[in-house]
Chains A and B, each alone.
Chain A
């Protein structure tokens, strides 16, 4: 039986306070709701939920994020039917905030399904400008389009290219590469310490870094001069994170930018096993559950 300690043992050397990390995977988390500000306000949703007996607090990170401590099935409330909120991990919502899209801009979300970050960016853009949301898998594309429609998004066009072959003729001010990954950041442990939600066989993980490198390089090539890109995964494996960014730095004239949101995090790694990464890799962020109370993520901000 896989336990938290055994599954993440290879990372114990770089995850700060590893026992606290393992403990956090067993600790229940509040449900994070992103209020759809295209349709209502955080105050209105907070009052509606509190009137139904839910314990609601605002996230200190962003006004539109609410933490609900005793809500198990957020999709089953009337407010979900109304499109007043979207259930989304706190750290996932942070990624859209790091992209920082502005109303009127032209933005590309290269791996968009199921659309949480796409719809969040549309919300941050006040439905102005254009987001090209790309997803090659038909079933996931349907999920993306359902979520966009449900949330009243009117500034998104969807495309169905393989991300690494997305046409280069259109350039974007901002690109998000939220790459397919092994999803270790979503792992949770039951009370016996057994790991839940393991998504992929370890055999498949070997192909992911190759795909991630191709996606990141294509995302960079889609940037207009002076444009910015966010590379994100919800995994801890340095082969899917720092090594991917390092490949970009070696292939293209890219620069890693510091991130400035007030969120507890750890810096990107400068070394993993026999591999060494550039000094600016420390500007990448590693978000761990025991630091954020949410899903694990890796984020890099890159400028052309």
Chain B
């Protein structure tokens, strides 16, 4: 994907989380079936042109109606560069969120997607709406914290 569309899409990470665009300099951005993916840049890419590809690289954003949703994979990978909209959760909150998939929560932040973090470890993506936090983490059989 070429400029300026590339910057417009990846600019989401800067606008929402403060992850600078330079973070993605060494990646191609590709769109397939409403999913944006990052592929490490390589001189070999043209040699793959004849292959029927099923998926490419790391999915980082999904286009949902009129907005973008970051993937947990993207936030786990690039979230250490984030400067805002990071929620530090207690162990109890994490366990509840994984079990119930949502919980009441009142925060003075702009509604939208957030980075869920516990004890310095980035868990992935959550969705904050006024008074409620919803898990966007993949279903996972975590029983031990």
B80: shortest Cβ distance to chain A, in Å? 10
* Selected contact of A149 from candidates B53, B58, B123, B145, CB within 8 Å: B58
A155 to B144, CA, bound (A): 31
B41: shortest Cβ distance to chain A, in Å? 9
The answer to whether B58 touches A153 (Cβ under 8 A) is: yes
What residues of chain B lie closer than 8 Å to A76, measured between beta carbons? 141-144
Q: What range describes how many residues of B lie at the interface? A: 35 or more
The answer to whether A157 touches B58 (Cβ under 8 A) is: no
The answer to whether A152 touches B53 (Cβ under 8 A) is: no
Known A76-B144, A81-B142; judge A106-B47 contact (CB<8 A).
yes
Known A77-B142, A141-B54, A167-B51; judge A39-B76 contact (CB<8 A).
yes
Known A83-B76, A149-B58, A154-B39; judge A132-B48 contact (CB<8 A).
yes
A218 to B95, CA, bound (A): 48
B56 within 8 A of A: yes
A156 to B53, CA, bound (A): 10
The answer to whether A81 touches B57 (Cβ under 8 A) is: no
B139: shortest Cβ distance to chain A, in Å? 11
Q: Which residue in chain B gives the minimum CB-CB distance to A128?
A: B40
What residues of chain A lie closer than 8 Å to B42, measured between beta carbons? 104, 106, 128-130, 155
B50 within 8 A of A: yes
The answer to whether A82 touches B121 (Cβ under 8 A) is: yes
The answer to whether A159 touches B52 (Cβ under 8 A) is: yes
B94: shortest Cβ distance to chain A, in Å? 8
Known A82-B122, A132-B48; judge A154-B76 contact (CB<8 A).
no
The answer to whether A129 touches B50 (Cβ under 8 A) is: no
The answer to whether B48 touches A130 (Cβ under 8 A) is: yes
The answer to whether B76 touches A152 (Cβ under 8 A) is: yes
The answer to whether B58 touches A152 (Cβ under 8 A) is: yes
Bitwise interface map of A from 104 to 132 toward B, beta carbon under 8 Å scored 1, else 0: 10100000000000000000000111101
The answer to whether B54 touches A160 (Cβ under 8 A) is: yes
B77 within 8 A of A: yes
Query: Residues on A close to B: CB < 8 A?
Result: 38-39, 52, 73, 75-78, 80-83, 104, 106, 127-130, 132, 141, 145, 148-150, 152-161, 167, 169-171
Q: Which are the 10 A-B pairs with shortest beta-carbon distances?
A: A154-B58, A155-B40, A152-B77, A106-B44, A158-B54, A158-B55, A149-B73, A76-B143, A169-B50, A160-B54
A-B contact pairs, 19 of them (CB 8 A): A73-B143, A77-B144, A78-B121, A78-B142, A81-B123, A81-B142, A83-B73, A129-B40, A130-B40, A130-B48, A132-B51, A149-B58, A155-B40, A155-B57, A156-B57, A158-B56, A159-B54, A170-B48, A171-B47
